[in-house]
Amino acid sequence: MWLVILAFAATIATALWYSKAEDDRYMLSFLSLILWGTTIMVIVDHVMGYLMEGGEFFEMTTEATVLGGIMLIAALVVWEGALLIKDPKCVLYKRKSA
């Protein structure tokens, strides 16, 4: 389930970034990159686990759903941290205009 959650979030983030690509003020490209990287990592994990141990490819358990939510929250926290450092609206760091 965590693969489905992350792939869905990556798709949504990519669509949002593509619609706002001219002005990537809120670093949606960075969020998209984080989510696609995590999705690829999870796909590799699932494929290796399936090839080595067999069983089901998609886990539809409560634990897998919670893990997907936690990984999504972690990705959003990293993105928010990058936004705070960049400060696109100049709220934290007042920049002098030239």
Q: Tokens representing 39?
A: 């999705």
Q: How many domains does the chain have?
A: 1
In a domain, 50, yes or no: yes
Q: Domain for residue 93, yes or no? A: no
pLDDT digits (tens, 9 = 90+) for 73-89: 999 999 999 998 887 77
Q: Would you say residue 96 lies in a domain? A: no
Give domain status of residue 98, yes or no: no
pLDDT at 95: 62
Residue 34: Cβ within 10 Å count: 21
From the list 22, 48, 18, the residue with the least C-alpha distance to 32 is 18
- End-to-end CA distance of the chain, in Å? 50
What's the distance, CA 46 to chain centroid?
18
* pTM summary value: 0.84
* pLDDT tens per residue across span 43-70: 999 999 899 998 788 888 999 999 999 9
Taking residues 27-47, report their average pLDDT.
Answer: 94
Query: Domain for residue 29, yes or no?
Result: yes
Range of the domain at 16: 2-86
